[in-house]
């Protein structure tokens, strides 16, 4: 079966975990600006850009644990990386970041 160009683009976008928001910036289809728990199990290197595009910034790291904070929403996430994947993602009170 032959895929048309639009179908191929849609398939690539779905595989890349992005959605068309009508603008120049693609937003991940998982997570939100107030909750990153959907990123648990994701490959760390690929998911980092998605977390940043949701408005989070890396605040600090402690070994394999990273703390991400979204200044717009006050959301704080603790993300533990193991074997190149996010093995644990917990949302914490903003004061913990």
Whole-model pTM: value is: 0.69
Q: Tens of pLDDT along the chain (97 residues)?
A: 333 323 323 333 333 444 433 444 455 556 788 899 999 999 998 899 999 999 999 999 999 999 999 999 999 999 999 999 999 999 999 999 9
Task: Give the three-state DSSP class for 39.
Answer: helix
Q: Which two tokens stand for residue 37?
A: 């728990």
Contacts with 13 (C-beta within 8 Å, 6 or more apart), sequence order: 19, 20, 26
pLDDT number for residue 90: 96
Task: Please report, for the chain, the start and end positions of each structural domain, with discontinuous segments joined by +.
Answer: 30-96
């Amino acid at each position: 079966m032959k895929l048309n160009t639009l179908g191929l683009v849609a398939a690539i976008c779905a595989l890349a975990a992005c959605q068309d928001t009508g603008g120049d910036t693609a937003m991940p289809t998982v997570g939100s600006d107030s909750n990153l728990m959907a990123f648990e199990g994701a490959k760390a290197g690929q998911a980092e850009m998605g977390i940043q595009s949701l408005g989070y910034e890396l605040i600090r790291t402690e070994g394999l644990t990273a703390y991400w904070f979204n200044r717009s929403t006050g959301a704080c996430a603790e993300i533990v990386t193991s074997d190149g994947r996010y093995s644990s993602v917990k949302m914490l009170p903003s004061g913990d970041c």
